[in-house]
Amino acid sequence: MRIIGLDFGSKTVGVAMGDPFGWTAQALEVIKRPNENDVNSTLDRLEQIIKEYSVDKIVIGFPKNMNNSEGERCVKTNKFIKKLDERFHLPVIKWDERLSTMFAERTLIEADVRRENRKKVIDKVAAVIILQGYLDTYQK
């Protein structure tokens, strides 16, 4: 079973892929879009990835607030999840992503990645953290 992990942001989507055994998540790419409300090109690229890797499940970071409430980013993520469901008919798992981007940033800093390079990869590293959290919890 192949599982894809997504870090859905306002202008980018970080993508991570689980290995065929469901043990580890690897960074795949960052999908960029110039307009926050236009997700069609993002869905087109995800369709290519889903077909290429025979993906069976999608895990998407769900950006709850620290007090566990759901804000504007959750509303936008839910709309994107609906589009994923309509287009791909795959199970979509919401994964609590609180602090995942901060953890990704800290990991990259500790790895001595320069600031301008961190901006290029932070979203896919966050996607890895989201997917790895899911895999560690449910793929035993």
Alpha helices in 35-71 (DSSP H): 40-53
Q: Which residue has the tokens 């290995």?
A: 19
What domains appear along the chain, each with residue ranges and CATH number? 2-138 (3.30.420.140)
Q: Tell me which residue of 68, 70, 69 sits closest to 81, measured CA to CA.
A: 70
How many whole angstroms separate alpha carbon 75 and alpha carbon 19? 30
Residue 59 has pLDDT above 60, yes or no: yes
Confidence of residue 120 (pLDDT cuts 50, 70, 90): low
Residue 140 has pLDDT above 60, yes or no: no
Confidence of residue 101 (pLDDT cuts 50, 70, 90): low
Confidence of residue 56 (pLDDT cuts 50, 70, 90): very high
Q: Which two tokens stand for residue 18?
A: 């689980």
Residue 11 has pLDDT above 70, yes or no: yes
Note the pLDDT of residue 122: 67
φ, ψ at 85 (rounded to 5°):
-65, -45
> What share of the chain in percent tops pLDDT 90?
54
Question: Which tops the pLDDT comparison, 64 or 112?
Answer: 64
Residue 4 has pLDDT above 90, yes or no: yes
How many whole angstroms separate alpha carbon 128 and alpha carbon 26? 6
Residue 113 has pLDDT above 70, yes or no: no
Note the pLDDT of residue 68: 76
